[in-house]
Chain A
Amino acid sequence: MSSPSHGTLNRAPASKGLGPHTSGLGAFLKLRELPVTVALVALVIITTIANPLFLSPQGMKDLMLNATIMMLLAAGQTMVIVTRNIDLSVGSILGLVAFGTGTIFSSMPNMPIPLVLLIGIAFGAVLGAFNGLLTVWAKVPSLVITLGTLYVFRGLNNAWAGPKQHFAGDRPEAFGNLSVDTVLGMPIITLLAVIVVIILAIFMSGARQGRDLYAIGSDPEAAKLFGINVSRRVFTAFLINGSLAGLAGVLYASRFNAVGATTGSGLELDVVAAAVVGGVAIFGGSGTVIGAAIGAILLNTITSSLTALRVDKFWQQAIVGVLIITAILIDRLASLRHAKNLREKEGRNV
């Protein structure tokens, strides 16, 4: 134990001894993604012991397919949450784009698939930009703005679709096969999502603009003082998040049979849950895209494994809830203890 007034000095040489890089194991143990990864691995092992079919090739494929959409949405949502904002409208954006995709294919079955993907992404980007503009210009909390657009976008979807639904039969077979054929052992849409998540992860950790997002969420006022263009960065985060929701919407139309007025309803809360469970701090500043994606996989896997273990549907939801609260409590307790330690160790020697 170091004496209080010498706390800083005693601590510092120790870190020097480790060299400029934090030791590998220490850094690994501090990773915010660690708890969620451990939970995922444990869950898969336990479920497989109880039901060996869980990890069969078909079982794996189902797990991946189920997690794909959520992974994309959670990754995009992370960008927004990191800046101390939130986008609750992603479920509605996904719904609009999914129905749009169905509509395009039913009237123009020969439309090239890459073009449809681009149209979907652009559509999502426009909706995301709308959220971003309102948040940045009106300076209203994004929680309120996107709660509003959640209903507005859903209303548009209702007006557009009415009782109409588009079914997989209307869409080209090649489009549906994106969710069936595998490359490198992964369904194509999953591979696509993984690539997008990795690109986003590199952007968030390796680009100046990406680091700016963390700075903004960490201390918005300081970010302004540092000359970071807060409005533009936040707007961009919403725009990219919208594009990802758009991409997810197109993939949704490939994966699922029917798209209609209610497609994607209620997804937004699952998405936020996935990010939080994956170690993304709800008040911004920390958390990674990879963590959120693993969180999305975990939440989907829980549902599948509880089904495999024949646990009642009600309990599945309750368990997800417990996970979220646990994730937040762990964070909160750690920071409370940290603050108390700091006061006692680095305050005055009195």
Chain B
Amino acid sequence: MQHSTVYENALALSLHGAMKTFGPVVALADGTIELRAGEIMALCGENGAGKSTLVKILAGVHAPDTGEFIVAGQHCSFKSVADSKAMGVSVIYQEPTLFPDLSVAENIFIGRQPKNRLGLIDHGRMRKNAATLFERLGVPMDPARRAEGLSIADQQLIEIAKAISLDAKILVMDEPTAALSGVEVDRLFKVARSLRDAGAAILFISHRFNEVMDLSNRITVMRDGRYIDTHLTRDVTVERIVRDMVGRDVDTLFPKTEAALGETVLAVDKLGRKGVFSNISFEVRAGEIVALAGLVGAGRTEVARAIFGIDKRDAGSVTVAGKALPPGNPQAAITSGIGFVPEDRRKQGLVMDLSVARNTALTLRHKFSRFGLIDGRAEKRTAATWSRKLQVKTSSMDQAVSTLSGGNQQKVVLAKWLATEPKVLIIDEPTRGIDVGTKSEVHRLINELAGHGMAILMISSELPEVLGMADRVLVMHEGLITAQLDRNEATPESVMYAATASQEKNS
């Protein structure tokens, strides 16, 4: 094999035992990676395994608390993105940040535009230099067009062109293929291989095993913020990688209370939104917790938004307790008994500067208003009732929610929706950014609600949460439901397989 010699190649970068904590949260316990010139190293791990933190350390966004970091034979501690760039490290993110109003060429050369004799920018030469870069990459691109409206794939290629123009020796690609179509992936891989053959060291992160097996020379696996193992790609099987990724016992964490299932409350039939997801059909019965699993970007949140009516649907129907919902009308969704706890509670779930009472009663403004004015005392009474039920830790109902902890904020969002006495509760990432103690409290709460006959649709990227909580697991991949698993069928492996759709070549 042509690349059987990778182990002898020069070490381009090595990171050993890097730890990174944010307050009490350990984002990375043991970040270890080794990149050699002329190889493509794949990095695998579940959501939350610490891959992103590791990438940010390489990029100079975060400085590790401990650990040994060597780039091109030198000990490094990057203080900024500029430091990392100066050492020849370039990071291509899943969604690059370009200036939409500037031309493609200018996005590559901003701050380093070639000048003419008058000291002015030589636009012609800049475009020609950019065109040369794209020629080298073997992709057609008009350097003069504005970056606005470029596909993600094209934006990544611009970032790669920039990296080459900066003479980057180490290229980190953070889930570059997540939003790409099959043809675009092939094109990106061609570029990556030619850069590798020219001697670059590439770190490639992907959840798609077929891509990992296809592209990489070696594979490093991480789990729970720790380095697990590194394999030569040609000597390892997908099964082994998956085992490395999920190897942990999840059953003990989530004592599941069995609830008696009732009538079907939420029925979604052939729901579709062009370019985002299609043919989404499922039902949730009273007392049932259905988890919507999948990778970040699979289209789960978008499905929830379309059910609730924030985004318009292009196809299909949504029925709540036998009554069809009109499309694109959240008010109708609320009236018919859906509650929606969004993922980003700071931006979408709460009005951060308002009090606990105001936030709790936001969904009930109609009920509390007398002659168009809101009855403040009724508002506080209801808020106090629900805060007590959910054990929200707050000094008073007048306290601004911005001063509460993440877990307590989440409880206020829950209280807001529970106060409407919904039949269906959609919860998007219920425990994201919440400390461990409150996490289990939120889980207990969701279990209790189901026990009282509420139908619950829970979106979660955390495998243990999905497996521990759900009666049934729907797995989404690239806008489609790829598996419906009952509680006893759902294992880390079966969910991960469906989420990455690794058995089928997608294009």
Contacts and interface: CB of A to CB of B under 8 A. Distances in A.
Contacts of B140: 12-13, 15-16
Contact of B276 (A18, A222, A285, A350): A350
Contact of A22 (B82, B113, B128, B142): B142
Contact of B275 (A12, A217, A285, A345): A345
B106 interface: yes
Contact of A207 (B120, B149, B274): B120
A208 B113 contact: yes
Contact of A285 (B99, B181, B184, B187): B99
Interface string A310-350: 00000000000000000000000000001000111111111
Nearest to A4: B275
Interface in B118-149: 119-121, 123, 127-128, 130-131, 139-145, 148-149
Interface in A1-42: 4-9, 12-13, 15-16, 18, 20-22, 27
A21 B144 contact: yes
A5 B97 contact: no
Contacts of B98: 219, 222
A228 interface: yes
Contacts of A21: 127, 144
B154 interface: yes
Contacts of B278: 350
B479 interface: yes
A219 B140 CA distance: 26
B139 A12 contact: yes
Interface string B378-420: 0000000000000000000000000000000000000000000
Q: Is the interface of B mostly helix, strand, loop or mixed?
A: loop
Interface in A213-233: 214-215, 217-219, 221-223, 225-228
A108 interface: no
Nearest to A284: B101
A206 B276 contact: no
A22 B121 contact: no
Interface string B81-110: 110000000000000011111100010001
Given A8-B184, A208-B111, A348-B478, A218 B99 contact: yes
A215 B275 contact: no
A288 to B, nearest CB: 11
B274 A218 contact: no
Contacts of B145: 15, 22
Contacts of A217: 101
A211 B106 contact: yes
A202 interface: yes
A53 B41 CA distance: 76
Chain A interface residue bracket vs B: 35 or more
A212 interface: yes
A90 to B, nearest CB: 24
B120 A206 contact: yes
A85 B131 CA distance: 34
A286 interface: yes
Given A211-B106, A346-B151, A206 B111 contact: no
B209 interface: no
Contacts of A207: 119-121
Interface string B181-210: 111100100000000000000000000000
B178 to A, nearest CB: 11
B495 interface: no
B272 interface: yes
A27 B149 CA distance: 16
A211 B102 CA distance: 9
Interface in B159-187: 181-184, 187
B480 interface: yes
Nearest to A287: B101
Contact of B121 (A211, A218, A223, A346): A211
B92 to A, nearest CB: 14
A7 B144 contact: no
Contact of A226 (B110, B115, B149, B279): B110
Given A208-B121, A348-B275, A350-B275, A15 B149 contact: no
B181 A228 contact: no
A170 B480 CA distance: 80
A218 B102 contact: yes
B93 to A, nearest CB: 11
25 contacts: A5-B182, A9-B184, A12-B139, A13-B140, A20-B144, A21-B127, A202-B120, A206-B123, A207-B120, A207-B121, A208-B111, A208-B121, A214-B102, A215-B102, A218-B100, A219-B99, A223-B99, A225-B81, A227-B81, A285-B99, A342-B149, A347-B275, A347-B276, A350-B279, A350-B478
Given A8-B153, A221-B97, A346-B275, 13 more contacts: A12-B142, A16-B141, A20-B127, A20-B142, A206-B123, A207-B120, A285-B99, A285-B100, A286-B101, A346-B151, A348-B479, A350-B276, A350-B480
Q: Which 3 A-B pairs have the closest CB atoms?
A: A347-B275, A206-B120, A15-B142
Interface of B: 81-82, 97-102, 106, 110-111, 113, 115, 119-121, 123, 127-128, 130-131, 139-145, 148-149, 151-154, 181-184, 187, 272, 274-279, 299, 478-480
